[in-house]
Structure 1
Amino acid sequence: MHVWIPNIFEFKGGIQVYSRFFLEALHSFKFVTGRIILKHDRRIPTSALIHFNSFQFHCLGQWPLFLRTLVFSAQLLWVALIDRPKLIITTHLNFTPLAYYLKYFFKIPYWTIAHGVDAWDIQDSRLRQSLSNAELILSVGQYTRHRLLREQTLQPEQVKLLPNTFNAQAFQISSKPSLLLDRYQIEYQKAIILTVARLDSTERYKGYDQIIKALPQIKAEVPDVHYILVGKGNDKSRIEKLIHDLNLEACVTLTGFIPDEELCDHYNLCDVFAMPSKGEGFGIVYLEALACGKPTLGGNQDGGIDALCQGELGALVDPDNIDEIAHTLIQILQGSYPHPLMYQPQALRQKVIEVYGFQAFQDKLLGLLQTTDLVN
């Protein structure tokens, strides 16, 4: 097998996290060997080379950016012609046109993975052609799968679900950490709303603006409310101005960058996790919050629907409706939202692990691979 990946080790985003879990699952199957070709990583950590010892890695990130796509493509072609792999898997749709040419000329089958916005409203004719000729498209959620089937020329059996997963062991239920309460100078009794997101001007769809705009209404009913927004990015100054204009400085904390080892503590700091997004392919942060037993709110117009199991695991709201966001968060904080599971932390944790834990991901991928020649 050959697996083509944008990057894993030097940048953390949704595609990178998914690709790492995908690679971890492949490594657990003893019948899988092959090459991993990474476009943007410059090197592989020694620990990863030792751990993933059934794969040979190729990194192209050391090449200048203006040459990298050309060199990456040449590398993919060269090793494919040497190995003639039984299967190529691309973890980003943009790599599929080259996979299509390899299939067309050398009969090498390929799969690809659709994460979200990358798969929505595709107009490029080469990309549309390469998708229609893929043996399989793995969609991280039902929302993206439905959009692909509606917008592209694909057969239903051509698009299968392989939802996101997460590291359940890294996210556990605990009490509010006094260290963070002290750091942010917040009293224990405060009702805390939390969002974890990149504060990038291209990712305003995540809905942190909407929560800030809803805070005056929430504060009128829950005076001790405090909003913590975790993340960094170039949108920070605009958010600060919005907070200032609404006179909310005393009840909003922008934490900036938080290392991974502190994420669990931040989830446990809150009383509700909220990200009313409308452009999210899935949203692993929802799973992490649920694993910490937290009531969770998402948007009803994107992949958050999948992460919250169509509302079974949390509240889904119109991300454009400030009044609805405010009303729902007030209900959750006051314990009156009509969803008993929200207030059962251990049951929430058990359910999200059952549906989206790594074992479920691994089992699903194994079932898909068993339909190929790799297991023969």
Structure 2
Amino acid sequence: MIVHVSTGSSYDAGGVALVSRLINRSLADYSEKTDIPYRILDLGAPHPHLTDPNAVFFSGNKVGLGLAMYRWHLTRPDSVFILSHIGISRAYGLIPSGWQHPSALIFYGIDAWKKMTGLRRRMLNDAQLVLSISEFTLDRARHFNPDFPDAKILHLSLEERAPTDEVDLALLEQVGKDFLLIVGRMAASQQHKGHDQLIEAMPIILRQCPQARLVIAGKGDDMARLQEKAISLNVAENVIFTGFISEATRDALYNRCRALVMPSTGDGFGLVYLEAMTYKKPCIALKNGSAREVVVDGEAGILIDEQSAEAIAEAALTLLKDDALCQRLGEAGYQRYHNTFSWPMFNARFQGYLDELLSARR
């Protein structure tokens, strides 16, 4: 038996929920191939799109989740556990010390970039297999935890499903085509994605490309401040804040944009780069962030040395002025996605780790 313990609803928004869905899909495929049963213990609430009969939901009840894990511990000694987020540590604490089941623990970005203590440290120590979503995340985890155990890399993928929501046609008419695009939440507590520097780059860009536009897709409690910054720099007419958008609208923006520009310093992996690559769009990102594992400099986009307005503007102007370069980088990025990050690639990587974990119980 394979038990996947998920920190939240597999149909929540965001990267963590996406990983849960990828794991659930891979488990179903693995079970069909091997006849090894699986169960999903999800801390989130039921969702109409998640109809897997093997899923049990706990609607935020960490005690209930912990007790369910303990029951599996007692009644199915042959079980292996996939712990898909360190956030289940409180539920894990209900299990007595001496946990004997092989388990894999998956680490994401900022959740791993702190000193591991208490129950989180115990989860880490108990795991037979530690998986990190990127080398960048693993390096940062080791910075805060020099004794961090050996870990392996599980690069992510995207879902292959069409959005079911509606496209905002009025917004698409407003933004037009060939704009620079950044996609991501604007949080006052996490100002690492490069929104500030990208807005600061616009005056430089507009001096050479007066018709250039920047579309900032997403919402967050820092949006009003960023809007004020655009006004203060006299670029508000060329910077469009979309607010909340549907998945279908997001996809339409990727399809229409010139390039994705997200010089983030703090993303553990950067799914938005994959999203852009599936639409054959080049990416501008940082050399010293997780993007370097996704975007090959000069192949799928341009990697810049620093998160500065000047560096961003130089890269953006290069793409705005060169149609052939944009097309070449976009095509190469598309091929890189399919050769390295597509669903079959993720599924093969994850199922290889499942084989390794199952061998540990024998």
TM over 0.5: yes
Contact 2:154 2:350 in 1 (8 A): yes
Question: In the alignment, what sits opposite 1:362?
Answer: 347
5 Å matches for 1:161-200? Answer: 161-167=153-159, 170=162, 179=169, 183-184=173-174, 186=176, 188=177, 191-200=178-187
Question: In the alignment, what sits opposite 1:232?
Answer: 219
Displacement of 1:170 in angstroms is: 4.9
TM-score (norm 1): 0.84
Number of equivalenced pairs: 353
CA distance in 2, matches of 1:79, 1:86: 7
1:111–1:185 Cα change, 3 Å: closer
Displacement of 1:35 in angstroms is: 2.1
Displacement of 1:342 in angstroms is: 6.0
Q: Does 1:324 align with 2:311?
A: yes
Question: In the alignment, what sits opposite 1:95?
Answer: 88
5 Å matches for 1:98-113? Answer: 102=95, 104-113=97-106
Structure 1 residues 130-166: Cα deviation after superposition (integer angstroms, max 9, x where no partner)? 31331111111111123334534244xx311110101
Give unpaired runs (5+ residues) of structure 2.
Answer: none
Question: In the alignment, what sits opposite 1:11?
Answer: 12
Contact 1:3 1:90 in 2 (8 A): yes
Contact 1:313 1:341 in 2 (8 A): no
Question: In the alignment, what sits opposite 1:36?
Answer: 40
Structure 1 residues 7-53: Cα deviation after superposition (integer angstroms, max 9, x where no partner)? 234520111111111111111112342321111x22142x522xx34
Alignment match of 2:273 (pick from 278, 286, 289): 286
Q: Does 1:211 align with 2:198?
A: yes
Question: In the alignment, what sits opposite 1:174?
Answer: none
Q: What is the RMSD of the two structures over their aligned residues, measured on CA atoms?
A: 2.9
1:80–1:35 Cα change, 3 Å: farther
Contact 2:171 2:242 in 1 (8 A): no
Q: Does 1:249 align with 2:236?
A: yes
Q: Does 1:153 align with 2:138?
A: no
1:89–1:99 Cα change, 3 Å: farther
**Which amino acid counterpart does residue 58 of structure 1 have in structure 2?**
V
Contact 1:192 1:269 in 2 (8 A): yes
Structure 1 residues 86-142: Cα deviation after superposition (integer angstroms, max 9, x where no partner)? 211111123357658858424112111011111113242442343133111111111
Contact 1:168 1:288 in 2 (8 A): no
Deviates most, 5-14 or 259-268: 5-14
Question: In the alignment, what sits opposite 2:57?
Answer: 59
Question: In the alignment, what sits opposite 2:111?
Answer: 118
Question: In the alignment, what sits opposite 1:26?
Answer: 27
Structure 1 residues 212-233: Cα deviation after superposition (integer angstroms, max 9, x where no partner)? 0110001111111000011112
CA distance in 2, matches of 1:169, 1:341: 26
SS in 2 for 1:285: helix
Alignment match of 1:295 (pick from 277, 282, 287): 282
Question: In the alignment, what sits opposite 2:256?
Answer: 269
Displacement of 1:185 in angstroms is: 5.5
Displacement of 1:182 in angstroms is: 5.5
Q: Does 1:136 align with 2:129?
A: yes
CA distance in 2, matches of 1:147, 1:106: 27
CA distance in 1, matches of 2:224, 2:123: 41
Give unpaired runs (5+ residues) of structure 1.
Answer: 172-176
Contact 1:103 1:110 in 2 (8 A): no
Structure 1 residues 297-344: Cα deviation after superposition (integer angstroms, max 9, x where no partner)? 11233322222146642222245322111111111211299xx58634
Deviates most, 18-27 or 123-132: 123-132
1:309–1:370 Cα change, 3 Å: farther
CA distance in 1, matches of 2:265, 2:329: 27
CA distance in 1, matches of 2:13, 2:129: 26
1:317–1:100 Cα change, 3 Å: farther
CA distance in 2, matches of 1:368, 1:167: 20
SS in 1 for 2:190: helix
Structure 1 residues 280-302: Cα deviation after superposition (integer angstroms, max 9, x where no partner)? 01111110101101110112333
Deviates most, 195-204 or 242-251: 195-204
Contact 2:102 2:127 in 1 (8 A): yes
Q: Aligned residues: percent identity?
A: 24
